[in-house]
Structure 1
């Protein structure tokens, strides 16, 4: 299961607080932590912990944060041979405000992530050609993401495109995407459709399919996810859990989706598996530290299904 992640690295600086401050307000937080993360790194670790053979491509600063993130990836058996280091830019950082209810507000400073250029990607075309699936996001230069998707399309390799942080995208790019995985907010930004109900979710998904996406999977947090393609729509239920920290839940979902698809599961089965991985992630703090292992996801699903049968 060769999974290639082309994406970002962030050192997450997390402040826990009873609530986020209002404009001009200072409040006292309750805790501070530092966790390796970034959407690309989170997704790579998720796929690796779930059994994927993962290679990561991107750029770190030549600094302590970069060293720590590289160590974390290598500890998770991820191939880091093609990760570049930049002397002129620091490793990306994410400033996370985590409220008591588990919700978060995040500001990222991509720094070295944006120094990875399309010319750098040209040197790893063979990695794309040899992959079983490619994961990309939007914390890098958009031109890099576009080129990665174009290469994958050219080589006939399926792409999971997690369009986050959200921005508007051109149809010519969406037409090359195999699986688009926005959450509700990202789907609104991509389509202009205000999402308040499941009917709105389906409408936004159809909009994206009509623009050329092959499969749209809109994630709905505890409500699961909706699959929309040219054959119709299907809701895949989520898993109810006690929320501690929602950081990296979407990334765990995407890594799990990649592993499940490459292992031969149907899209419905893959989304069910990915929903479980995402649910487990919100029960722990931090980005990479919260991403579950395969045995945890399998045990969680088995326990959930057994409970449903008994009820």
Structure 2
């Protein structure tokens, strides 16, 4: 089965848990704090690796203790980190995250070394990557690196999955190279101007993407589920009801699981249903990477919820 390549950010996450967010200028006491490995790219790489895929990670970190920590975390999860560069001039990217009692989060990201990933770095890495079926990419690294990775992936016949996050980093130029985009409600509004509140508005957004050349999309609506749009056909995927503990990394677990299923030959709707299951399981666990499920945990969750008909052979251990 096919391998996966991920191009994206690598961060250290400083996570504070609180009952409610402070108002501007207000000081409150939180409940606890954790320092965890994160970054959208690294999260997606670990998500795929934990689901049994061979994963190449391309990114940049600083020559500091946080850089060593995040690389060790990926190595321990089976990710190939040989294409991660460490730079002297910048510190490892950092996300300062606050999680409230509803498990929703706010996030302030200092990109640091992520901004040092270059077009040349991408070319050098792809020169030795020949067996990946899927590229996962996001918008927390420079546009030139994002677009170059998509061009190189297309040359090698990879299916390009763009998670257009964060919304502030989205560029229209990057969209033209994607085979599918998987935006959430905020990112969809940023790209289309459409406020997704229901299936009708989600369909309008998917049609907008189709008109500008993106034939496949998955509009993620959080607790309202997802809409899969493929070549003019749509299918609604209902949200799975779970008790959420930490939503940090939920979208990354979705992208990693989607890429895993697609690399193993699943059709888009089946892959999206599987990704929906993995994301639901992720939010019941703490940590953007630490909470990502393994094959065994996914299978157990599927059996518990009665989703066994969504399982496919590569996930069985």
TM-score class, shorter: over 0.9
Residue 313 of structure 2: aligned partner? none
CA displacement 1:55-90 (0-9 Å, x = unmatched): 101101000001111110000111111110001100
Q: SS of the residue aligned with 1:79?
A: strand
How far apart in 2 are the matches of 1:50 and 1:130? 18
Equivalent-residue separation in structure 1 for 2:307 and 2:47 (angstroms): 25
1:267 aligns with 2:264: no
Q: TM-score, normalised by structure 1?
A: 0.95
Distance apart, 1:302 and its partner CA: 2.2
Shift of 1:155: 2.8
Q: Is the 8 A contact 1:162 1:180 kept in 2?
A: yes
Compute the displacement of 1:124 (Å).
1.7
Match status 1:191 vs 2:164: no
State how far apart, in whole Å, the 1-side matches of 2:192 and 2:129 are: 29
**Coordinate RMSD, CA, aligned:** 1.6
3-state DSSP of counterpart to 1:242: coil
SS at match of 2:74: helix
Residue 10 of structure 1 is matched in structure 2 by 11
The answer to which of 250-259 and 191-200 deviates more is: 191-200
Structure 1, unmatched stretches of 5+, are none
Q: Is contact 2:146-2:174 (8 Å) kept?
A: no
Following superposition of structure 1 onto structure 2, how do residues 91-240 of structure 1 map, counting pairs within 5 Å?
91-127=92-128, 129-167=130-168, 168-170=170-172, 172-240=173-241
Q: Name the CA distance, whole Å, in 2 between partners of 1:126 and 1:295.
A: 34
Other-structure match for 2:295: 294
CA distance in 2, matches of 1:154, 1:212: 19
Q: What is the total number of aligned residue pairs between the two structures?
A: 307
Gaps of 5+ in 2: 310-317
Per-residue deviation, 1:127: 4.4
Preserved contact between residue 129 and residue 152 of structure 1 (Cα < 8 Å): no
TM-score normalised according to structure 2 size? 0.93
What are the equivalent positions in structure 2 for 1:35-74 lying under 5 Å apart?
A: 35-74=36-75
Q: Please say if residues 222 and 279 of structure 1, whose CA atoms lie closer than 8 Å, have aligned partners that are also in contact.
A: no
2:315 corresponds to: none
Would you say the 8 A contact 1:128–1:157 is kept in 2?
Answer: no
Q: Residue by residue, what CA displacement relative to the aligned partner does 1:253-286 show, whole Å, maximum 9, x if unpaired?
A: 1000011111111111111110011001111111
